[in-house]
Amino acid sequence: MGVPVRYGMNPHQSATVEGGPAVIGGAPSLINYLDALNAFALVREADTAGGLPAAASFKHVSPAGAALAGAVDDVAAETWRTAGAAADSLISAYVRARDADPKSSFGDVVALSRPVDAETAEFLRTVICDAVIAPGYEEGAVEILRAKKSGSFLIFEAGADWQPPARERREVLGAVLEQDRDAAELAAALPEGALDAPHRRDALLGMAAARYTQSNSVVLVKDGAAIGIGAGQQNRVDCVRLAGAKARVWWLRRHPFVRDLPTVDGMRRQDRLNWQIRFAGAEMTGAQRVEFEELFGTAASGRYDEHGWREEWAERLDDVTLVSDGFLPFRDNVDHAAEYGVGTIVEPGGSTRSDEVAAAAAEHGIALVTTGLRLFHH
């Protein structure tokens, strides 16, 4: 018999859940469960493959970002006020995951592959997130988190030994569907020796992220962090372009023009981030342009329209690994990937035009690795 939850996909739908992670704080909805389960599966696989703490920022059953622990660059450290975070720490993994697409990560479900320490719990208390799932919590961490959102913050504990069953079953509009859980070993699918250690790590992180992203999906990874994820598109090239656009904005946020926007008294961190993203991506409406100049001044407003700096900076983004959950059907995927600094492509292969895809990769100097493993997820 299932346990009632707060609501189903929408507030007007009742729902129950049977099994799954323990709820030790808050009252989840069905979507909270779906996000938490998928996100935890992702970080556990990423941790196993990469040998480092892993984190994911999940929204609407797809990751906005995923990362392994690593060095937090100056922009992320300044944005999230985490200067001094150790490169092998759990908090570094989440900061890197959240920083990939902070507009999408607003109100996310946080997944962590290692027990939550007090430092990470304190950080989560300062950002807008709805839930956390982890294999456990160190002393004091739960108490810190329970104080968030007036006690309504969702806290899931998956347990270190949590293991989903070998078969999955669901009912959709009266049809009962059952299949083997996708448990194919990612490392075994990636040809040995095809990539050096850093690029193999990035490829495996991208494959883990793709496995738990709504298909079609493309993941762009750099230095152990996904910097752009294109999810749920009906054609592959739109996945590439969406992931690339997100990665480009992430990179443009590192430009001095964006970093040096004047500080506005009383402006919240998320509001400043949203303005930086609009400024970096040149995506303001007319009304926003007027407000931007009022907030940040005429010098910043002039830079918004200044020609060439975005393109010049974007050309410096390189050594990005692209992972696709399905084969690339046409060379246009590769042509667009090259515009976003992609140097390695990892895809299943097997398209009727794979020769054209391989030729395009060779033209752009991109290493192409085929795995034979499709990673669709719905």
Q: Is 336 a catalytic residue?
A: no
Buried b / exposed e along 93-123 (16+ C-beta atoms within 10 A)? bbbbbbbbbbebbbebbbbbbbbbbebbbeb
* Contact yes or no for 230/73 (Cβ under 8 A): no
Catalytic residue among 216, 222, 333, 377: 216
How far is CA 46 from each of CA 68, 186, 201, 229, rounded to the nearest angstrom?
A: 7, 10, 9, 16
Containing 258, the helix (H) or strand (E) segment is: helix 256-259
How far, in Å, CA of 369 to CA of 348, rounded? Answer: 8
Instruction: Judge whether 12 counts as a catalytic residue.
Output: no
Q: Which of 59, 148, 199, 336 is catalytic?
A: 59
d(CA 145, CA 78): 23
Q: Is the sign of the CA dihedral 249, 254, 258, 263 positive or negative?
A: positive
CA distance 81 to 346: 34
Q: What count of residues does the chain have?
A: 378
CA distances from 55 to 69, 83, 353 (A): 8, 18, 36
Give catalytic status of residue 60 as yes or no: yes
Q: How far out from the chain centre does Cα 305 lie?
A: 30
Prior bond to 10 cis, omega within 30? no
Distance (Å, rounded) from C-alpha 345 to C-alpha 320? Answer: 9
Closest Cα to residue 223, out of 315, 306, 319?
A: 319
307 is catalytic: no
Residues with active-site annotation = 59-60, 216, 378
